[in-house]
Amino acid sequence: MKKSNYKSRSIFIQTVLWLTITVVGHSQDLNQGELDSLYAHYQNSISNKTLAGVESLFIVNDRVVWHQAQGYQDVSTEKALELNSIFYIQSMTKPIMSVAIMQLVERGLINLKDPIEIYIPEAKHLRVAVDPDLGLESPTQKINRSIKIRDLLTHTSGLSHGLRDSKLDQQLFEALYDETLNYRLHNTVEDRVLTLLSFPLVAQPGAKWYYSAGADVLALILERVTKESIPNYLSKYIFDPLEMHDTGYNLNELQSQRVMKLHSRDENNKVMRHKHQVPTSGNTVFGGTHGLFSTADDYAKFCLMILHNGSWKGTRILKAETVKNIRTNHTQNLYNEPGAGFGFGFSVILNPDKMDRPGGVGQLQWSGYFSTYFFIDPEKKAIGINLTQQMPGGDNIPSPFQNYTYKALD
C-alpha cells in the first residue's frame, strides 16, 4: 500500500469510523502487491495526463482494506483530490431508486406487475418504432401489452436512454439532455418523463433488454404514489437511516467545495477540465436515472446494506427476501453480457466462467456516465467503489480496479 502522511492517515481514519473498525494496512488474506499495482497503474495514468484523479474504496468482510485518493480534483488548478470527495454519480442513482421502489412494493403501495398507466395515465397510448434508424419518421405500431413496473426495473420496457447510435436514440438524447448535457433543459422529472413518453418505444415491452431512462418513470411513480418529493422520500427512508449525509441532488456550499470537477480529453487525448460542469445547487429535476451526488463512504453504506440482506448497523432498509429478489436474474437470456443477467436495478453474475470480467456468482454491479463504478460480491463478501469524473472515460478507469481487487482476493 502506498504510504500516506500523518494528515492523510488521520482523514482516512475519520472516514471509516462508521465501520467501527481499525484501518487495515496489510492483511494476510490479501495479496497486497496487487493493490500496490492498482495504485501504480492509476498513478501512471495521472502522470501521462489521461486521468485527472480517482478515489478507490475496497471493503472485505466489512473492513476497509484499501482507500486511496490519487491525482487532482481539478487539473486546471492542480488541486489535489482528497479522500471523501464528492462525485456526481450519474447512473449509480438507478440502484438507489430501485431500492426505493422495492420499499413501496413491500408496503403494498404498488405491485411489480402493475401497468404504469395506473400511475401515469400519459403512458396509455404508447407505440413502437418499426425502424429506429429512421428516427421520428419511422412507422409505428401498437404495443402488444402495457409496460409494467418490473419492466422499468430490468430495462425491458422498450424505452430508450438515447445512448445508442440509431437516429431515434440521437433525437431522444437531444430532447432529454441536450447535446451539451444541459442540466436545466427540463424543470421537473415529470417534464422529462413526459418527453420520454412522447417518443415511440424501440422494442415491444418485455421483448428486449435495452438500457433506458425507465428509472425516471419509476421516480415519477414514487412521487405520485407517496405524495412526497423524491429528495424527501430518499432522505427519510434511505439516506438518513444509513447516515449517508453527503448524498443528494443539491449540495451546500461546504459540500460543493469537495466536488471533483468533470474532465474530458483534448485533441491530443490529454485530460482537461470539461467546459460544462454539473450545477451543485438549484437542481429541480430529481431523477431516478441520474442526478445524485455522493461519496465513496456514503455509497459503501448503501452497498453494505445490500450485502447484508437489507440491513446495516441495526437499520433495516429492505426485507431479506426483497434483496434476494433484487439479486435474481429477471431477464431470462435477454441481457447482453455473456454469463450475466439483470435483477431489479443491478446486473448480476450468473456464470463467472463465461464472464470477461472478474466476480463471483451473485455479484451485483453498475456504473455511471462519468466513469463511476461499484460492485457488491456476496460470495467474496467484498465491495468495491471506484469514483472519478471523466467523460469519455473508457475501460482504462474501472477495469483495472475490477482486475486488481479480485487478484488481491486470490
What's the pLDDT at 3? 36
Q: pLDDT tens across 25-42, in order?
A: 444 479 999 999 999 999
Q: Which residue has the higher pLDDT, 183 or 194?
A: 194
Residue 48 lies in a domain: yes
What's the pLDDT at 184? 80
Q: Which three cell numbers stand for residue 128?
A: 413502437
What's the pLDDT at 178? 87
Residues 214 and 241 in one domain: no
CA 47, CA 65: separation in Å to the nearest integer? 25
CA 198, CA 159: separation in Å to the nearest integer? 11
Other C-beta atoms lying within 10 Å of the C-beta of residue 3? 7
What's the pLDDT at 17? 38
Mean pLDDT of 91-111: 98
Residues 64 and 138 in one domain: no
* pLDDT of 393 over the 80 cut: no
Question: CA dihedral in degrees (329, 334, 337, 340; nearest 10)?
Answer: 20
Return the minimum-mean-pLDDT range out of 13-17, 149-153, 189-193, 295-299.
Answer: 13-17
Helix (H, G, I), strand (E, B) or coil at 191: helix
Residues 239 and 385 in one domain: yes
When divided into structural domains, the chain yields a total of: 2
Mean pLDDT of 232-251: 98
Please tell me whether the peptide bond between 392 and the residue prior to it is cis, using omega within 30 degrees of 0.
Answer: yes
Helix (H, G, I), strand (E, B) or coil at 325: helix
Residue 270 lies in a domain: yes
Residues 119 and 198 in one domain: yes
Q: Are 397 and 371 in contact (CB under 8 A)?
A: yes
* pLDDT of 181 over the 90 cut: no
Q: pLDDT tens across 243-302, in order?
A: 999 999 999 999 999 999 999 999 999 999 999 999 999 999 999 999 999 999 999 999
What percent of the chain stands above pLDDT 70? 92
Residue 377 lies in a domain: yes
What percent of the chain stands above pLDDT 90? 89
Q: In which element (H, E) is residue 293 found?
A: strand 293-294
Model confidence at 395, in pLDDT bands (50, 70, 90)? Answer: low
Residues 389 and 293 in one domain: yes
CA 408, CA 33: separation in Å to the nearest integer? 8
Residues 213 and 248 in one domain: no
Final residue before a domain boundary, out of 185, 212, 228: 228
What's the pLDDT at 224? 98
Residue 334 lies in a domain: yes
Residue type, 87: F
* pLDDT of 180 over the 70 cut: no
Model confidence at 394, in pLDDT bands (50, 70, 90)? Answer: low
Residues 224 and 237 in one domain: no
Residue 135 lies in a domain: yes
Mean pLDDT of 374-395: 92
Residue 14 lies in a domain: yes
CA 181, CA 108: separation in Å to the nearest integer? 37
Residues 246 and 125 in one domain: no
Residue 316 lies in a domain: yes
Q: In which element (H, E) is residue 402 found?
A: helix 398-409
Model confidence at 183, in pLDDT bands (50, 70, 90)? Answer: confident
Looking at the DSSP bridge assignments, the partners of residue 375 are: 365, 384
Q: pLDDT tens across 198-221, in order?
A: 999 999 999 999 999 999 999 999
**What DSSP letter does each residue of 109-170 carry, written as one string?**
S--TT-BGGGT-GGGTT-EEES-GGGGGGS-EEE-SS--BHHHHHHT-SS---S-SSSHHHH
What's the pLDDT at 198? 98
Residue type, 231: P
Residues 253 and 390 in one domain: yes
Residue 1 lies in a domain: no
Predicted structure pTM score? 0.93
Q: How many residues does the chain have?
A: 410
**What DSSP letter does each residue of 330-359 carry, written as one string?**
-STT-SSSTTEEE-SSSEEES-GGG-SS--
Residues 386 and 251 in one domain: yes
Produce one character per residue of 274-290: b if its CB has 16 or more CB atoms within 10 Å, e if not: beeebebeebebbbbbb
Q: pLDDT tens across 345-361, in order?
A: 999 999 999 999 999 99
CA 41, CA 33: separation in Å to the nearest integer? 12
What's the pLDDT at 238? 98
Final residue before a domain boundary, out of 228, 247, 267: 228
Which CATH number do you get for residue 303? 3.40.710.10
* pLDDT of 179 over the 90 cut: no
Residues 247 and 386 in one domain: yes
* pLDDT of 6 over the 60 cut: no
Q: How far is CA 56 from CA 72, 80, 92, 300, 310, in A?
A: 14, 15, 15, 11, 24
Residues 216 and 240 in one domain: no
Final residue before a domain boundary, out of 206, 228, 250: 228
What's the pLDDT at 32? 94
Domain span holding position 281: 6-92+232-409
Mean pLDDT over all residues of the chain? 92
Other C-beta atoms lying within 10 Å of the C-beta of residue 356? 8
Model confidence at 13, in pLDDT bands (50, 70, 90)? Answer: very low
